Structure 1
Amino acid sequence: MKEYLHNTIPNLKPFDHELHYEALFINKAWVLVNGISEKKSTYIFKTDNILEISRKDYTIETSWTINIQNIFSIETEDGLITVKVYFKDDDVLVLNHQNKQEFALFINTTNYTEDLNSVEDVQNFLKEKYKQKLTSLIYDHEFYYIENSKEFGPFTVEELSEKVSNDKISAYCFVRDVNEYDYSNRLRIYDLIKEL
């Protein structure tokens, strides 16, 4: 079951009570992505093991518990289910069903101003989120570039952009991240500047 989930959604971090419970999990508005086009459901895991599930016209209260191995038991309309909890990042939560090859994907909308009511809204949310993350990652990172078979760097994107605007290097020189060993990603300075 675990392989199925990790093949579908790579780079998941298992729930860590100390890291995630207060900061990311409790009292956050988690919108269920599965089935959002038919009905929107928002889950709020509260202290005292109360789970509040809100839909368009009504809200129900049910319960949840967590055991020492970080296995969650959640009482739903369909009965009691057991899940393992994973985070893709601070705003994406995955509940992996322990007895089936199924998982539920949630987005934390607590600090998000727009409403998530459709698949298109979810796509826009994720696109904007990861675009901002990519921009800040690129902005803070350093890269080597290769020109005439020689490697130079590392430089920030800002420094590379300045070199391009001063015609010291071509915007089409290949770059590699400081943590990469070759230029196989075929990334160019132009691609980095475009993302800023």
Structure 2
Amino acid sequence: MNDYLYNTIPNLKPFDFDRHHDSHFINQQWVLVNGISKKKAIYTFRKDNILEIERKDASIKTSWDIDIQNIFTIETEDGIITVKAYFKDDDILVLNHQDKQEFAMYINTTNYEDELNSVEDIQSYLKQKYKKKVSNIIYEHEFYYISKSEEFGPNTVEELTEKVKNEEISAYCFVRDVNEGDYSKRLRITDLMKEL
């Protein structure tokens, strides 16, 4: 992967045909992030190597192909381009141009109810998506807590919340992640409860 791409969007995972092709790529509605403030475009890659591009004023059908090294060739209005695909996560696709220091970023809106028509919509989408992801991680994770100078746990946030509701412990008890060795982050049960 080119350094400029990695520096711009860290933690990208290369396209894996077996994992991504059928479940994350084909027949999904990918909104192009680049230039959305000027013109919205939705890309849908079909199984028969047809690429449908929907714009407000036009609908275009073109072609795409993939080789054994997961390098895509896509026919565009400017000719054929060669790109390598990466996923930031299951809903964010990055196509890195192989001949230039350029990339295109797409958001999968197939299962997203609201329209993405502007930069503000994208910011809202990402904020909502990652807030939900953080909540899920916190919800499933376990923490130790200190009460009356004694350590207890590990407990999930749900269990800690129940203990607070039953007045068994204070919402202001310090907690630490099971993977941390101390309470130096000064995190309290109430901080975890706010994230759920």
Q: 1:74 — aligned with what?
A: 74
- TM superposition shift of 1:34: 0.8
Report the TM-score when normalising by structure 1: 0.90
SS at match of 1:47: coil
Greater mean alpha carbon deviation, residues 120-129 or residues 149-158: 149-158
Task: Determine the C-alpha separation between the residues in 2 that align with 1:41 and 1:105.
Answer: 12
- TM superposition shift of 1:18: 0.5
Q: 1:137 to 1:98 in 2, by over 3 A?
A: same
* 5+ residue gaps, structure 1: none
- TM superposition shift of 1:72: 1.0
Number of positions where the alignment pairs a residue of Structure 1 with one of Structure 2: 196
Greater mean alpha carbon deviation, residues 162-171 or residues 90-99: 162-171
Q: 2:119 — aligned with what?
A: 119
SS at match of 1:95: strand
Task: Determine the C-alpha separation between the residues in 2 that align with 1:151 and 1:10.
Answer: 37
Task: Determine the C-alpha separation between the residues in 2 that align with 1:188 and 1:86.
Answer: 37
- TM superposition shift of 1:52: 0.9
Answering whether residue 157 of structure 2 is matched by residue 157 of structure 1, we say yes
Q: 1:47 — aligned with what?
A: 47
Q: 1:21 — aligned with what?
A: 21
Answering whether residue 163 of structure 2 is matched by residue 175 of structure 1, we say no
Q: 1:91 — aligned with what?
A: 91
SS at match of 2:45: strand
Q: 1:9 — aligned with what?
A: 9
- TM superposition shift of 1:185: 4.5
SS at match of 1:124: helix
Task: Determine the C-alpha separation between the residues in 1 that align with 2:152 and 2:60.
Answer: 60
- TM superposition shift of 1:143: 1.4
* 5+ residue gaps, structure 2: none
Write the letter of the residue equivalent to 1:10: P
Write the letter of the residue equivalent to 1:13: K
Divergent runs of 4+, >6 A: none
Q: Deviations over 1:145-171 (max 9, x none)?
A: 245665421101011112333444333
Task: Determine the C-alpha separation between the residues in 2 that align with 1:37 and 1:24.
Answer: 25
Q: 1:52 to 1:177 in 2, by over 3 A?
A: same
- TM superposition shift of 1:81: 1.6
SS at match of 1:48: coil
Q: 1:178 to 1:2 in 2, by over 3 A?
A: farther
Task: Determine the C-alpha separation between the residues in 2 that align with 1:102 and 1:146.
Answer: 51
Q: 1:181 to 1:121 in 2, by over 3 A?
A: same
Answering whether residue 56 of structure 2 is matched by residue 56 of structure 1, we say yes
Q: 1:30 to 1:159 in 2, by over 3 A?
A: same
Task: Determine the C-alpha separation between the residues in 1 that align with 2:182 and 2:101.
Answer: 38
- TM superposition shift of 1:27: 0.8
- TM superposition shift of 1:48: 1.9
Report the TM-score when normalising by structure 2: 0.90
Q: 1:5 to 1:159 in 2, by over 3 A?
A: same
Greater mean alpha carbon deviation, residues 138-147 or residues 156-165: 138-147
- TM superposition shift of 1:176: 2.9
Instruction: Indicate the RMSD between aligned Cα atoms, in angstroms.
Output: 2.0
